Every structure is written in C-alpha cells, then in structure tokens.
Amino acid sequence: MYVRDVVVDEKAGTATISVRLGDFQGQAAGATATVQYTTRDATAIAGQDYTAISGTLVFAPGESVKTVVVDLQDDALREPLERFDFVLSQPVGLLLADGIAVIEIGASDGTPAAQPRLSVTDVTVSEAAGYADFVVSLHAPSSSLVTVNYANVNGSATNNADYRYVDGTLTFAPGETTKTVRVELIDNLATETTETFDLTLRSATAATLADAQATATVIDNDDTELMPLGYGRSNDIYDLPATAVTFIEAPDGGLDIVRSSISYTAPAHIEGVFLSGSAASATGNELANVLRGTAGNNTLSGLGGIDTAVFLATSGQATRSGTIDTATVSTPLDGTDTLLSIERLRFADVILASDTMPGGNTYLAYAMFNAGFNRGPDAAELGQWTAQLDMLGKGGDLAQAMINYYAPGVPNDVLVAHLWSTVVGTPIGSEELATYVGLIENGTYTQASLLELVATLELNTAEITGIVGQAVALDLSSFPLAG
C-alpha cells in the first residue's frame, strides 16, 4: 500500500489524498483489507490550518484505490509554506510500503505584488512512479489574475516513449500562489540510463518569469543491479536492501531515514541513519541528521547541520562527557557511543539540545520566545518552537508562526507596543510607536521581521546568556520519530 504526497494552495479549500494498493499501477485486493488513517500536525496546525480527521479505509475484494479529503482553512493570516502529515497504520490483510504522506500548503496571504515572480521547480522520480508533478508558484500573491502557459520539452526522455506530453495554461486567481502540472510517465520494460525532460513556462501575464524551466529526472526501474527507491516529500523510512540502490529524495523532502545492518553514510537528501545488527558506524551529511546506533559500541558522526543522536535509555541512565565536537555517551541499553559533531541527544524521556550558541535553532527559538513574553520558555514551549524552526528553516517564518499562534491578526500598533514593553521594559512613547508602525506600513518591516529583529537585540539576548553553550531540555512530543 502506498499513499501519495499532495501540494495544494490554501484557497483550494480541500486536499485530496490517494491511497493505493500496488502504487500507481494498481493491485486489487483479493480479500477485504483495512487500514487506519489520521492526520498529524507539522508546521500546519489542526484547527488553524486544516481540519483533523481519522478513520478506517476498507478495501473490498477487487478495489485498489481510496481517496480521503481533508478540509483546509483559508484564513487571512500571512503564512509561509506549511505541512501536515497523513499517516496510515494498523494494516490488516495488506503491507504498508509508504504509509506517510505530506500535504504541503503553499505560502499564503502575503503582501500582494504588482508583478509577482513565477517559478517552477525540478523533480526527481522513479520511472514506476506513474507521474511527475511540477510545482509552479508565485513568490507573492497578486491582486490581479495571473496566467502563464506551459509545455513539455524533450530531453533524453522523449514524448510517447518515456512520458506523455502536456501543454496548457495555468490561472492563478487573486491570492493564489501554488499550482501543479502533472505529467504522466511511461513505465516501459527497457533498461535505460537516467533520463530527463523539461517543463517550460512562457507568456506570463501580470507576473514576471523568474525561473521558467524545470527538469524532471527519471530514474530507470528496470536495472536489476540498481534499484530506485523514493516515497516523495514526506518523512520516509527505507530498509537498506542487499542490492545497490538509488534513493530518490528531494531537498526539504521531510525526515528520511535509512535502516542499515552495515556501517552506512547518508547519501544526498537522506537525513537519518538507524543501525542494527553488527553495524559499527553511522555518518551523516550536510543536513540536520538523526543517527541511532545499536546496543553495542558505535561511532555516530554528524558532520554539518544540527545533528541528533538517538538513545533507547533515559537521560538518567546515561553517562555523558565531552563537547559537541567529540563526546562519549554510555547507557545500559545503547553501549558506549562516540559522538562527533552531535548537537542534540535524544533520550527516551527528553532531548538535551546544545545548539544554544547564537545561530543555533534552539538559541533562536528561546530568544524569540523571550522577546515575546519576557520570560524563558519551558521544555514544552521550547520544544514546540525549536521543532517548528527545524522544519521551517527561517527565523522570519518562525516569527510569523509565533504571531499566528499567539496573536492572530494582531494590529501593528498593539504588536509594536507589546514588543517594546517586553524588551525595553517601559511603555512606548507616541513618537516611537508612530515610527515603528510606519516602518511596518511602508514595507520596511513585516510584523515577523520586526519580531525577528527584536529577538536578536542585545536588550533581549542579555537576558538569556545563561543558556549559551549549555544543554537545555526539549519536550519529546514536538519531535515525532518513526523507525
């Protein structure tokens, strides 16, 4: 059973999720089969951005496809691209190959642009995926109707041999920012090299073309010595096969984990390595990696990014020594592990985060919360916002998420006065209030960029020097981890 990811505009009103037996090609159920489903928050929050649902899908004999519709909430809040998950579990009479889909809601309700910039993004898929979705987006909404023509262009992959040619016109209604163009793939039986074809944009109205061409890279699935594996934009789990494999994962494609019984180095766009058996070492890459050893002694190397080592024991069972660069952690359940460039330790009861120097995600989340509330966050609050920043990637997006969560639709003058009082410690004067409100109204700042700025001011950071370079506790509930 497979569930496919979805990219949708907030103004679409709904997201339709396809659950299939046998992936795109389809495989009918021979007997009644069932699976449970539920939605799960990521950066999108149930009740604010979408309506949570759960239930049971029942496949009668002969059925192969079910669809589930999730309602989206079209609010008026400025928001970056947001995600939530659709999770399958407890299968009866079937096997789950890909049980997690991510639903991406395009950025919405930003300041309208007179000539927004249009772009289309590359995509990499297996030949067996059935289709390739090109995401076409505006960098900001428009108050006018935006149109753009699109068409395929052959590369080494050609029309009617490797894919089905499409062309047409996309229309963005005022306020919309995200569309997709779906191109059907042809899964032939020939052994081929990796092939490509393009989608080009042209003749835009009421918008400019910033990136008018994207490439679809199609990995052949007929080479018995090199198997392509890819489950899309969601948080995916792969068991490393005995044969050579090409993992098809995109940048920002979720938290993707490879489970390996041999020492393993994460390839491009894979974030996690979980060891088993006699495997001795797990090595990350430039991303924020999640690494887990065995019950024996392991070496876990994070390299770049903000990296996490996972332990089965509780923090109270652990003996720790060393620094972020080189550390040793011993527990009765995990052996003695050597950690290289690891910023966070995930135990069974808590995450201890040491990315608390300026520039670290935990530090920035702490500083931004302190600027908003004139106090440090507790473990649950810090975990919530550090996890959000890990997923969003940008301080400005975190600031906007905090504003939307705690004070949706707050007037500019109320926000300015509040931040002044929490950071400066006195009521704001009328002249200062007018100045900063004016900077928001004339576009010098947004509410989010002002909060981001205030969080880094010395008046604010001087209050949080006690966490700098220290390990602070993050609540586990904001960091779901499968595998």
pLDDT at residue number 162:
94
pLDDT at residue number 340:
97
Check residue 47 and report its DSSP letter: T
Q: What is the pLDDT of residues 64-85, one digit of tens each?
A: 899 999 999 998 888 889 999 9
CA–CA gap between residue 30 and residue 82 (Å, rounded): 38
Q: What is the pLDDT of residues 152-210, one digit of tens each?
A: 999 999 999 999 999 999 999 999 999 999 999 998 888 888 899 999 999 999 999 99
Q: Which residues pair with 291 in a beta bridge?
A: 273, 309
Instruction: Express as a percent the part of the chain with pLDDT over 90.
Output: 79
Least confident span in 327-331, 349-353, 368-372, 479-483: 479-483
Distances (CA, A) of 122 to 45, 151, 183, 196, 249: 28, 14, 13, 10, 12
Contact yes or no for 170/147 (Cβ under 8 A): yes
Neighbouring C-beta atoms of residue 83, cutoff 10 Å: 22
pLDDT tier at 38 (50, 70, 90 boundaries)? very high
pLDDT at residue number 249:
77
CA–CA gap between residue 170 and residue 450 (Å, rounded): 35
pLDDT at residue number 242:
64
pLDDT tier at 482 (50, 70, 90 boundaries)? confident
Distances (CA, A) of 10 to 86, 115, 150, 228, 408: 17, 21, 22, 32, 17
Q: In which residue are the tokens 């392991």 written?
A: 298
- Whether residue 279 is predicted with pLDDT greater than 80 in this model: the reply is yes
- As to burial, measured by CB atoms within 10 angstroms (0-12 exposed, 13-18 middle, 19+ buried), residue 305 is middle
Q: Which superfamily does 1-107 belong to? A: CalX-beta domain (2.60.40.2030)
Average pLDDT over the chain reads 92
- All CATH 2.60.40.2030 domain ranges of the chain, comma separated, are 1-107, 110-223
Distances (CA, A) of 325 to 1, 345, 354, 465: 42, 13, 11, 21
Contact yes or no for 148/203 (Cβ under 8 A): yes
pLDDT at residue number 462:
96
Q: What is the pLDDT of residues 85-123, one digit of tens each?
A: 999 999 999 888 888 999 999 988 888 999 999 999 999
- Whether residue 439 is predicted with pLDDT greater than 70 in this model: the reply is yes
pLDDT at residue number 238:
86
Four-CA torsion 364, 103, 80, 471, nearest 10 degrees: 0
pLDDT at residue number 163:
96
Least confident span in 14-28, 280-294, 304-318: 14-28
- Whether residue 363 is predicted with pLDDT greater than 80 in this model: the reply is yes
- Whether residue 224 is predicted with pLDDT greater than 70 in this model: the reply is no
Four-CA torsion 402, 82, 363, 325, nearest 10 degrees: 170
- All CATH 1.10.3130 domain ranges of the chain, comma separated, are 361-476
| pTM (two decimals) | 0.82
Single out the residue of 185, 181, 178, 83 nearest to residue 137, CA to CA: 178
Single out the residue of 396, 321, 362 nearest to residue 464, CA to CA: 362
Please give the class, per CATH, of domain 110-223: mainly beta
Whether domain 361-476 has CATH 1.10.3130: the reply is: yes
- With a CB cutoff of 8 Å and minimum separation 6, the contacts of 143 are 112, 174
